[in-house]
Amino acid sequence: MAGKSNFHANLLILEGKNWDTWVKQMKVIYIVKEVDEQVNTVLDPVTP
């Protein structure tokens, strides 16, 4: 992963009216932080 950064300092707070912008911003952050595959992986539900 890349070095430390201050992404959290400028993050939008999710509110219903800014959903489209928030989603785009989060996708970019996931890609930059190299966690997009983990976030977008669908797992099978755990059965007891």
As a whole number of angstroms, the distance between CA 48 and CA 44 comes to 13
Spatial distance between the Cα atoms of 39 and 30, rounded to a whole number of angstroms: 8
So what's the pLDDT on residue 1? Answer: 47
Predicted pLDDT of residue 7: 56
Q: Distance between CA 1 and CA 33 in Å, rounded? A: 6
Looking at the predicted structure, is the pLDDT value of residue 46 above 60?
Answer: yes
Lookup: tokens for 15: 């509110």
pLDDT tens across 3-36, in order?
Answer: 556 656 677 788 888 889 888 888 888 778 788 7
- The whole-number pLDDT of residue 9 equals 64
Note the pTM of the prediction, 2 decimals: 0.55
Query: Quick one: pLDDT at residue 6?
Result: 62
